[in-house]
Amino acid sequence: MLGTLRKAFERTIIGDSVPALVRWGKHVPRSVIRGIQEDGFRDLIRYAAARQKFFARKLREKGIDPSHVRRPEDLGDIFTTPEDLRNLPAEDFLCRKPHLVFETTGTSGGPKRVYFTYDELEFTARYEAAAMYENGVRPGDRVVCTFDAGYWISSWVTFCACKRLEVFCSAIGKPHPREAYSRMGLYRYNVIAADPTWLVSLSEIAEKEGTFPVKLILAAGDRMTDVYREYVESIWKCPVILGYGSTEQGGGAGMECQRRDGIHLDEYNFWFEILEPDAEGYGELVVTTLSRRTMPLIRYRVHDVTRWIEDPCPCGATIRRVARIKGRRDEMVVMGAGNMYPEIFERVLHDVAGISENWQVAARQEGLHDILEFRLELSNGISTGTVEQKVRENLKARFPDVWANQDCGMYRLAFRFLPPGSLSQGRKPKRLVDERNS
C-alpha cells in the first residue's frame, strides 16, 4: 500500500520540484522510511522472482517462496556478487528492454555491465539533484563536472541532476586539470564536481596561478583522504562534500551533508545492509536497488567496508549515515600489522617526497614473521634512507596502532626501491597485495 501511497504523494505533492523533494524527504520519520523500504522490497522481490532469471534460479535452488520474503534476511544467503555480473550473461539479470549500458572495472577481472532505461537515469538524477540542492546548489550556479565519461555513469547522472536543478553545466569527461582551469574564469564555474586526485592536481595549479570564486566542491570516485580534503578546501576556501556511489548503484547512492560527518544514504531507493559487522561495527555494505526495474540488483555485495553512524545527524535529515568507506573487503589484508587497507598506505605515502605515484605494499612472510614491504619508485634521486625515514615517521604518527604492532614484533617493515616505471599498473592499480603462502 505504501508504495502506491508514496507514488501518489510524489506525483501530486512533490511533482518535479527538487526543493519539495528535499523538504519532504529530509524529515520523514524513521518508521515511515522503514515502511517505504519494506513495501518497496516486497514489490521488487515479487517482480524479480517473475522476471529475473538469475534471482528466480537462486530462489529455486534455496527452496524459498518469494511470497514469504519480507526483508533481506529472509533470503538467507542469496546474494548478487560482482563475479555474477562479470561472469553471467546480461540476459540473466535483465527484466525488460534497456536503453543504456554503463561499465565499471574493478581491481581484477573484466568490466561489469549494468543496464538502465532513460527514465531510471532521470530518476536517479532527481535524487542526486536533491543532494546537491541540500548542499547549496541553486539556479544560477555554474557547474563544471569532470567525472570520467566513457562508459562510466557518474558524469551522466551529474549532468541530468544539473538539468533538474536548471543550473549551467559542463560535463566534460576528465580532461587535464589545466584545460578546466583555463576556462574557470571564462565560464564562471562556481561549483566543481570531480575525483579527489584530479581536484588535488587542479588545486596545485590554482595555488600557483590563482583561484576563482568557488562556493562548493563535490568529490566522488577514488578515495578522498583528510589530507587531500583539507588541502583542496584551503586553496578554494569552500567546503568539499563527498558523494558515494558506483555504477551498480546507478551512480549516486548517498552524499555527505554540510556537517561532513558521514554519508547520508538514499534509503528511499535502496535497502542497505552491513554484513558480519566486527567489534567496531565495520562490515561489508550490501545494497538492494528498490526502484530500478530494468536490471535490479538484489543484495548486491558492494565489497565496500563501512559502519552505521546511529546518532541522528545535527542537520536534521532522518535518512541514516554510514562512516566514510574504510576500504574494499576484497582489498583488506589481515596480518600482523592489523587489518590493512590500501587507504592506510595512501595516507602514509601521499606526502613523501621523491617517490612516484606508482607504489605497492605487499604482505609477505619470512619464516614465522609477517613482513610489510613498501615497493617504491624513486623519482628524483633522493636517498633511500631519507624516504625510508619519512615513511616510518608517517606510519608512526598517523597509525600509532599499526606502528605499535611492529614494536610488539608482530610484523617487520621492509623497503624495496625500484627504478621509475617498474610498477606502472593501469587505471585501478592494486595498491596492497597479499603474497603470503604463494
Q: Which is nearer to Zn ion, 20 or 315 (CB)?
A: 315
Stretch that binds Zn ion, among 23-31, 41-49, 102-110, 258-266 (CB under 5 A): 258-266
Closest to 369 in 3D by CA, of 337, 410, 414, 328: 410
Distance of closest approach, residue 304 Cβ to Zn ion, in angstroms: 20
Stretch that binds Zn ion, among 183-191, 231-239, 308-316, 329-337 (CB under 5 A): 308-316
| DSSP designation for 95 | -
Distance of closest approach, residue 130 Cβ to Zn ion, in angstroms: 13
Stretch that binds Zn ion, among 6-14, 265-273, 310-318, 366-374 (CB under 5 A): 310-318
- Other CB atoms within a 10 A radius of the CB of residue 147 amount to 26
241 and 255 in contact (C-beta within 8 Å)?
A: yes
315 lies in the site for Zn ion, by CB under 5 A: yes
Distance of closest approach, residue 241 Cβ to Zn ion, in angstroms: 11
Distance of closest approach, residue 296 Cβ to Zn ion, in angstroms: 28
Q: Which is nearer to Zn ion, 196 or 254 (CB)?
A: 254
**Grid cell 574557470 in the structure block, residue:** 184
Q: Which is nearer to Zn ion, 311 or 435 (CB)?
A: 311
Question: Can you point out the beta strands (E) in 341-388?
Answer: 355-366, 369-378
Distance of closest approach, residue 271 Cβ to Zn ion, in angstroms: 20
414 lies in the site for Zn ion, by CB under 5 A: no
Q: Which is nearer to Zn ion, 88 or 313 (CB)?
A: 313
* 56 contacts: CB under 8 Å, gap ≥ 6: 48, 49, 50
Q: Which is nearer to Zn ion, 275 or 313 (CB)?
A: 313
Q: Which is nearer to Zn ion, 131 or 257 (CB)?
A: 257
Closest to 306 in 3D by CA, of 324, 288, 279: 324
319 lies in the site for Zn ion, by CB under 5 A: no
Q: Which is nearer to Zn ion, 33 or 315 (CB)?
A: 315
Whole-number Å distance between alpha carbons of 200 and 168: 24
Stretch that binds Zn ion, among 108-116, 311-319, 364-372, 390-398 (CB under 5 A): 311-319
257 lies in the site for Zn ion, by CB under 5 A: yes
101 lies in the site for Zn ion, by CB under 5 A: no
429 and 359 in contact (C-beta within 8 Å)?
A: no
Stretch that binds Zn ion, among 153-161, 223-231, 316-324, 394-402 (CB under 5 A): 316-324
132 lies in the site for Zn ion, by CB under 5 A: no
Q: Which is nearer to Zn ion, 183 or 260 (CB)?
A: 260
Stretch that binds Zn ion, among 93-101, 247-255, 289-297, 317-325 (CB under 5 A): 317-325
| DSSP designation for 247 | T
78 lies in the site for Zn ion, by CB under 5 A: no
Q: CA triplet 382, 386, 389: central angle to 5 degrees?
A: 150
Total number of residues that touch Zn ion (CB under 5 A): 5
Distance of closest approach, residue 309 Cβ to Zn ion, in angstroms: 10
**Which one of 313, 414, 418, 423 is in contact with Zn ion (CB under 5 A)?**
313
Distance of closest approach, residue 256 Cβ to Zn ion, in angstroms: 7
Following CA atoms 264, 266, 270, 273 in sequence, which dihedral angle do they give, to the nearest 10 degrees?
10
* 23 to 14, 27, 131, 177, 427: CA distances (angstroms): 9, 7, 11, 36, 40
Which grid coordinates are listed for 15? 511533482
Distance of closest approach, residue 220 Cβ to Zn ion, in angstroms: 17
Q: CA triplet 68, 10, 142: central angle to 5 degrees?
A: 125
Whole-number Å distance between alpha carbons of 187 and 19: 26
265 lies in the site for Zn ion, by CB under 5 A: no
309 lies in the site for Zn ion, by CB under 5 A: no
Classify burial at 232, counting beta carbons within 10 Å of its beta carbon; exposed 0-12, middle 13-18, buried 19 or more. Answer: buried
Distance of closest approach, residue 19 Cβ to Zn ion, in angstroms: 17
Distance of closest approach, residue 433 Cβ to Zn ion, in angstroms: 37
* 238 to 167, 168, 200, 233, 415: CA distances (angstroms): 19, 19, 14, 5, 39
Stretch that binds Zn ion, among 271-279, 285-293, 309-317, 380-388 (CB under 5 A): 309-317
* 11 to 4, 6, 41, 266, 292: CA distances (angstroms): 11, 8, 20, 19, 18
Contact residues: Zn ion, CB under 5 A: 257, 259, 313, 315, 317
